Amino acid sequence: MSALIELSGVRKTYRSGTVEFEALRGVDTVIAEGEYAAVIGPSGSGKSTLMNILGCLDVPTEGRYVLAGEDTSSLDEAALAAIRNRRIGFVFQQFHLLASMPAWRNVELPLVYAGVSRAERRERAVEALTRVGLADRVDNRPGQLSGGQQQRVAVARALVTEPDLLLADEPTGNLDSGSTRDVLALFDELHDAGRTIVLITHEPDVAARAGRNLVIDDGLITTDRVRAGAR
């Protein structure tokens, strides 16, 4: 498998006046196409900073981040926004659904920004909702859905542009145990279908579902292990 993500010597330093804080201190890793990897670490470990760089929401202070062969490290905001819309699907702890819109309208939003026609947007949104098991909920508003169903809508929205990377930040943090199992089972299905997934979490049980665990602490990847029997 070819590399989808390549991080080389990635550092991120934040400055406030004369005070500096180094959130990432030289991260090197490669994640292949089709891999399911979890980045796990406690609060303050650097995992949120790493997620922001992986998602092209921020750029390294030093080092290189290459996504699907494209070096993102020195791109301006407009170019980063284009990559986010084209190559990355985001799933967050907060569902970020618009309460006044039915599920399919929430899912189509990335396609609106991409300039896709209305007819095609609806078709692709319904297809994405069907893929996550919500074919019978396309016209329901978020308030008519359970927490697990709302997160499935968010996953459908992340998939509707057919991105190279599905990036999930604490996707089960607001869910009960039953909904957590359902969402993680959905990620298993997406991985089995060939989707590249990077999941950010502080929960070992959630990370254990991924085929590979990258443990981050104090701004460095301290452990990189492949789970026994990983698919």
Say how far apart CA 220 and CA 154 lie, in whole Å. 30
Query: Domain limits at 158?
Result: 35-59+76-226
What mean pLDDT is reported for the chain? 94
Q: 227 falls in which pLDDT band (50, 70, 90)?
A: confident
Collapsing DSSP to helix, strand or coil, 39 comes out as strand
For residue 93, is it within any domain?
A: yes
For residue 185, is it within any domain?
A: yes
pLDDT of residue 149: 95
Task: Count the alpha carbons within 13 Å of 93 in the hemisphere toward its beta carbon.
Answer: 9
Cβ atoms of 60 and 53 within 8 Å: the answer is yes
For residue 159, is it within any domain?
A: yes
Digit-coded pLDDT (tens) for 159-217: 999 999 999 999 998 899 999 999 999 999 999 999 999 999 999 999 999 999 999 99
For residue 200, is it within any domain?
A: yes
For residue 105, is it within any domain?
A: yes
Q: Can you read off the two tokens belonging to residue 67?
A: 């996504």
For residue 231, is it within any domain?
A: no
Digit-coded pLDDT (tens) for 78-116: 999 999 998 999 999 899 999 999 999 999 999 998 889
**Number of domains the chain contains:** 1
Nearest CA to 168 out of 112, 210, 229 is that of 210
Largest separation between any pair of C-alpha atoms in the chain: 56
Q: Beginning with the edge strand found earlier in the chain, give each strand of the sheet holding 88-92 in spatial order.
A: 88-92, 165-169, 196-201, 36-40, 212-217, 220-226
- What's the CATH code of the domain at 119? 3.40.50.300
For residue 202, is it within any domain?
A: yes
Say how far apart CA 168 and CA 207 lie, in whole Å. 12
Q: What pTM was computed for the model?
A: 0.92
For residue 124, is it within any domain?
A: yes
pLDDT of residue 125: 97
DSSP conformational letter for 142? G
